[in-house]
Structure 1
Amino acid sequence: MSLLAIAPFDQSRYIGTVCHVRPTSLEVNLPLASAPTSSHFAGFPVPGGQVGEFVLVEGEEHAILGRIIEVRLPERDRLSVEPTAEQSISPHPVGAIQLLTAVDLETGKALKGVPVHPRIGQHVFSAHPLLVKQAIEGSNLAEIRKVRLAVFPHAPNTGVSMPPAHIFGRHCAVLGTTGGGKSWTLAHLVEEIARLGGKAILFDATGEYGGQWDGIDHVHLGGLREDARDTRRFVSFPYSQFSETDLFAMFRPSASAQVPKLREAIRSLKLAYLAPEIAIDGLIKKADQSKVPFENALLQHGAALGNIGAEFNIELLSRQIEEECVWATSNRGQRMWGGANANELGFCTTLISRISSDVGSSHLACVFQPQRLDESLTASIDRFLQDGTKRVLRVSMEFLPFEHNTRELVANAVGRYLLRLARQGRFIHNPLVVLLDEAHQFLDKNIGDEFSKTPLDAFGLIAKEGRKYSLTCVLATQRPRDIPEDVLSQMGMFIVHRLINGRDRNVVEKACGNLDASAAAFLPTLGQGEAIVVGVDSPIPLPVLIRRPTTPPQSRGADYENLWNAQLA
């Protein structure tokens, strides 16, 4: 007994006959394509020969699923559609069909490739949306346990749902130009994760996903509470979670004299925290002092100094740099530091001034003054992971400054922290999805100069190795060309909205194994909310209309017409 949702070769959906067969395409007579309007049957559309329409070519054991990519009239019939043409002249439209896959007539499942090509004279039928849905989804998972992703653009009464593993299990990229629906797709995916009982962290670059969704916790990275009535949670990302190269990229020391002194000052302050008995007022005094206590403490705590997260008091960093500006040895012996070195201190004056200004800046309080905020982001993440009632943590970065590359460095350090948790096995039994909006800001960049360069590679590493630790990512961007090719190649699912730029389309076409030039040609013409879904587990590039999120993101700009007109009234 056939398991097909509906009869595939219904004569009411007949649209033409095969007249030319190629390895990857067909030419078909489309006698109904010249009709000015499409038709419907039993509540479902039958376009009858429209570009973009899915079709089924009849067969004995398989039905060939294809898509119309071209409709034309032979040269001799070109004028037959003009209003002035004689009524006795009938047009003979011809269509080109791209072969996509084959559908087993017994199970309704899509096969890999086309095992048997159609024959000339075989009939072609407009594919029923329910058959396309059955072939695409190809899963026995209950509908309620799937991600309710989209509907068909020309059949909004037919939904497209996919198992969570198809979208989130192999990483996902949401791509599209401004206004194409990328933000809505990301918001809908967040809501679906919450509905299905998953765990996710959303990095909101602009603060547009601030709606109060059920099961979603909101924290703000950066910024300060306005007054006592402000109930928002402001969190820090302490400087101690930065690597040495991160701090170098922020403070920008010169290579010759400042880099060594900054490195020594950070090490001294960390040692002062671990061994306070050798410090005076939190500082390691070196001018004319014995090296013995310092060297002994260094031997005892040397392993801890290199760990990310090792504490130190950054408010003392400027003063500690001054303490580092001494002669390497004293006249009284090799085990003593010499006196103050005025030349080295002069070389470090600009660095000292820069550090003092940055550490005291209220704009950078979330990094250098964590005590002014509610808690650290790492603590918020740990509590969220342990709380079974919370499904999604939204980390708003709207207040995080761009100066000194703070935004990029913080996001990269947070990604590094999550990867460290993943390598410890924290997500094996409770998979975590990381959603990164405006991903092009945080990938494929090197911050700093050639002497203090730090790569923004944390989310790239998550894409490359996170899957084996049950840590996957969803990257959303309007600039696919700015995402590293080796990162895009790790994406198992692509949801591609309208793309106008040719370079972006070429990058996506190259990264998606199933998205060829014929399918990519539809990308510039997609409407708002429409997308082409391409994935490792999806047999064909599928055009869909993404479902509207319950709480759409607040991504609209100012209402210029009403605001400006109000001033003129």
Structure 2
Amino acid sequence: FALFRPAGQVQQPQLLDAIKSLKLAKCLEENEKLPEDGKFYHPKFTDKFITCVGGIIRKKCHYKDAFRHFETKYMAEIEEDNSEFDLTKLVIQLKEEAVYESNGSNVEMWGDVDKRTSDNIASLIIRIYSKVSDKAFKQIFGIGKEPKKDLCETIESFISNKSKHILRIGFEDVPYDFQTREILANAIAKFLLNKARKGDFKTQPIVFFADEAHQFLNKEVKDEYFQSMRLDSFDSIAKECRKYGLFLCLATQMPRDIPLGTLSQMGTFLVHRLINHKDKEAVESACSAANKSTLAYLPVLGAGEAILMGVDFPMPVMLKVNLPQTEPNSHTPQFKRL
């Protein structure tokens, strides 16, 4: 939904039906003997069938009972969080879903193409096609060819490997188009959130660092009718996952862009120089240890200086951070050399 932004009352039901059909098609291809004509018959009614050809479920003038039979048979696989479907066939399947609910007076069959429904989902089809055809989108989501590495498998491998302690996921090559960075970061956070809720980190806690966190938190995607959907996986991790063994560390230059509910769940703050009064107010609202006299120092802090505050510190502590052995190339480019 975040990637393709379907309109709530018009396009979302069609998108859900198309995804369900594609998941069912995958189950049929993997678990049933594929007939040459692609027709899968209802076991109790030899004249009722659905057709699955090339991973697409045909709906036009096909039997609802046959579809529901196989849907019920593979319901567990279809409803699994990690159940897969072929994204490249989503546009074709959406067109198959645009049919009348009955074939004339015969309510047991889907009817012919419903032009009104086709017109309603036309903009959704264009959005899906443009994104699935985009080169950067294909590379990120492994469309068209087998990706070099599956990110979920890489994270699973890191978690199970006791000898490795740091996994860095870089977004250097992820484009800014289509809010891809925000959606991808939220998907990674959701993946870890689901694992935490299952208790996977109880015996082996994990700290999830998010650099430039203001780019990913408190973000929304809007459909063509300006209905919004929040990307709130980081927010959920901050609010509920400490007891599950998943901890969150946020680094940002703009505390004002982090949701106050998320900031208030942070136990420790390491605050460098802040000038903007809204940034200072955000820290003051979220951290009970922050007071006016402490915040007054923030605009005059120098490079490497910071104030440490939090629930484990009875009073704020002033810090001077030494330079690393290998200094990062983070200096501002000079317009003129003196």
Q: TM-score range by the shorter chain?
A: 0.7 to 0.9
Is 2:302 the partner of 1:527?
A: yes
| Equivalence for 1:113 | none
Change (3 A) 1:340 1:309: same
Whose strand proportion is higher, 1 or 2?
A: 1
| Equivalence for 1:360 | 133
Residue type of the partner of 1:286?
K
Cα distance in 2, alignment partners of residues 368 and 271 from structure 1:
21
Q: Deviations over 1:440-492 (max 9, x none)?
A: 12222222247763322111111111111121111011111111112111111
Cα distance in 2, alignment partners of residues 464 and 359 from structure 1:
34
8 Å Cα contact 1:314/1:368 also seen in 2: no
| Equivalence for 1:378 | 152
Give the Å deviation of 1:433: 0.7
Cα distance in 2, alignment partners of residues 343 and 448 from structure 1:
23
Give the Å deviation of 1:370: 7.5
8 Å Cα contact 1:255/1:451 also seen in 2: no
For 1:139-158, list aligned pairs within 5 A.
none
Aligned counterpart in structure 1 of residue 209 of structure 2, from 435, 458, 461: 435
Aligned counterpart in structure 2 of residue 348 of structure 1, from 109, 121, 129: 121
SS of 1:275's partner is helix
Q: Deviations over 1:494-529 (max 9, x none)?
A: 100000011111221222211210111011000011
Cα distance in 2, alignment partners of residues 452 and 300 from structure 1:
35
The count of corresponding residues between Structure 1 and Structure 2 is 316
Is 2:163 the partner of 1:403?
A: no
Is 2:58 the partner of 1:285?
A: yes
Change (3 A) 1:389 1:556: farther
Give the Å deviation of 1:550: 3.6
Give the Å deviation of 1:332: 6.2
For 1:227-242, list aligned pairs within 5 A.
none
SS of 1:392's partner is coil
SS of 1:308's partner is coil
| Equivalence for 2:25 | 272
Is 2:48 the partner of 1:295?
A: no
| Equivalence for 2:232 | 457
| Equivalence for 1:472 | 247
Over the matched positions of the two proteins, sequence identity in percent amounts to 40
SS of 1:507's partner is helix
Q: Deviations over 1:84-111 (max 9, x none)?
A: xxxxxxxxxxxxxxxxxxxxxxxxxxxx
Change (3 A) 1:557 1:346: same
Computed over aligned residues only, the root mean square deviation of the Cα atoms, in angstroms, reads: 2.1
Q: Deviations over 1:198-220 (max 9, x none)?
A: xxxxxxxxxxxxxxxxxxxxxxx
Cα distance in 1, alignment partners of residues 70 and 330 from structure 2:
54
Cα distance in 1, alignment partners of residues 167 and 258 from structure 2:
24
8 Å Cα contact 2:182/2:219 also seen in 1: no
SS of 1:491's partner is coil
Change (3 A) 1:535 1:251: same
For 1:180-199, list aligned pairs within 5 A.
none
8 Å Cα contact 1:359/1:368 also seen in 2: no
Change (3 A) 1:454 1:550: farther
Is 2:282 the partner of 1:507?
A: yes
| Equivalence for 1:253 | 6
Cα distance in 2, alignment partners of residues 255 and 553 from structure 1:
46
Q: Which has the higher contact order (CA 8 A, sep 6+)?
A: 1
| Equivalence for 1:491 | 266
Change (3 A) 1:474 1:310: same
Cα distance in 1, alignment partners of residues 121 and 270 from structure 2:
51
Q: Which moved more, 1:353-362 or 1:409-418?
A: 353-362
For 1:65-104, list aligned pairs within 5 A.
none
Cα distance in 2, alignment partners of residues 385 and 370 from structure 1:
29
8 Å Cα contact 1:439/1:477 also seen in 2: yes
Q: Deviations over 1:291-350 (max 9, x none)?
A: 222111121223433332211001111111111111111136211111122332233333
Change (3 A) 1:370 1:509: farther
Change (3 A) 1:461 1:257: closer
Give the Å deviation of 1:556: 3.8
User: Which stretches in structure 1 are left out of the alignment for 5+ residues?
Assistant: 1-247
8 Å Cα contact 2:62/2:110 also seen in 1: yes
Whose helix proportion is higher, 1 or 2?
A: 2
Is 2:186 the partner of 1:412?
A: yes
Give the Å deviation of 1:533: 0.5
Cα distance in 1, alignment partners of residues 144 and 317 from structure 2:
47
Change (3 A) 1:332 1:510: closer
| Equivalence for 2:82 | 309
Change (3 A) 1:436 1:552: farther
8 Å Cα contact 2:5/2:221 also seen in 1: no
| Equivalence for 1:318 | 91
Cα distance in 2, alignment partners of residues 470 and 295 from structure 1:
41
Residue type of the partner of 2:298?
L
Give the Å deviation of 1:552: 4.0
Cα distance in 1, alignment partners of residues 20 and 101 from structure 2:
16
User: Which stretches in structure 2 are left out of the alignment for 5+ residues?
Assistant: 33-39, 41-51
Residue type of the partner of 2:13?
P
SS of 1:250's partner is coil
Which consecutive aligned stretches of 4+ in structure 1 deviate over 6 angstroms post-superposition? Answer: none
Is 2:143 the partner of 1:390?
A: no
Cα distance in 1, alignment partners of residues 336 and 299 from structure 2:
27
Cα distance in 1, alignment partners of residues 331 and 141 from structure 2:
30
Cα distance in 2, alignment partners of residues 270 and 556 from structure 1:
51
Cα distance in 2, alignment partners of residues 268 and 396 from structure 1:
34
SS of 1:531's partner is strand
